[in-house]
C-alpha cells in the first residue's frame, strides 16, 4: 500500500517538475522494492502515450518525440531510439514491437518517456488528480 502511494506521488512530482520530490520518491521506492511499480508505471505510460498521440499512426511524430526525450533525459542516450519508438507504438496498438525488449529496460524507458509526457503538458490540479486516479484504477486491474 505504501509503495502504491509513493508511485502516485512520484507521478504527481514528475508532472509538477518537482525534482527534489522525484528524487525522494525514487529513493523510497528503491527502499520499498517498487511493489506494484511495473503495473502503475505501465498504466501511466500507456494512458499518457495515448493521450499524447491518440489515434495518430505517424511514425515520424513518435520518432521526433523519442529524439527529444533522449536529448532531455540525462541518460537518454543509453536507450535505443528504435526500442523507445517500439514502446510507444506498442502502447498505441502494435504490441509485437516490444518482443525483444527485456522488462528492466522497458521499465526504465517507460519512466523516461512518461517523464517527458508529464512535463510537456500544463496540468491543472484537477487534471493531474484525474490522471492519477485513472492510472491507479487501471493499475489495480493488473495487481
∠ CA(107), CA(112), CA(117), 5° rounding?
120
Cell of 97: 514491437
Query: Residue with C-alpha cell 505504501?
Result: 2
Question: What pLDDT, on a 0 to 100 scale, did the predictor assign at position 2?
Answer: 62
* pLDDT at residue 10, as a whole number: 95
* Mean pLDDT score across all residues of the chain: 90
Maximum Cα–Cα distance across the chain: 40
pLDDT value at position 79?
Answer: 85
State which residues form the domain around 134: 2-140
| Total domain count, the chain | 1
| pTM of the predicted model as reported, rounded to 2 decimal places | 0.91
Question: Does residue 32 surpass a pLDDT of 70?
Answer: yes
Amino acid at each position: 500500500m505504501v509503495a502504491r502511494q509513493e508511485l502516485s506521488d512520484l507521478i504527481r512530482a514528475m508532472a509538477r517538475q518537482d525534482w527534489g520530490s522525484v528524487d525522494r520518491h525514487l529513493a523510497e521506492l528503491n527502499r520499498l522494492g517498487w511493489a506494484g511499480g511495473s503495473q502503475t508505471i505501465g498504466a501511466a505510460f500507456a494512458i499518457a502515450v495515448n493521450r499524447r498521440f491518440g489515434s495518430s499512426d505517424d511514425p515520424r511524430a513518435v520518432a521526433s518525440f523519442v529524439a527529444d526525450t533522449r536529448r532531455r533525459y540525462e541518460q537518454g542516450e543509453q536507450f535505443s531510439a528504435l526500442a523507445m519508438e517500439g514502446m510507444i507504438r506498442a502502447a498505441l496498438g502494435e504490441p509485437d514491437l516490444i518482443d525483444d525488449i527485456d522488462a528492466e529496460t522497458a521499465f526504465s524507458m517507460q519512466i523516461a518517456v512518461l517523464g517527458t509526457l508529464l512535463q510537456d503538458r500544463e496540468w491543472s490540479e484537477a487534471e493531474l488528480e484525474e490522471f492519477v486516479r485513472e492510472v491507479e484504477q487501471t493499475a489495480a486491474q493488473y495487481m
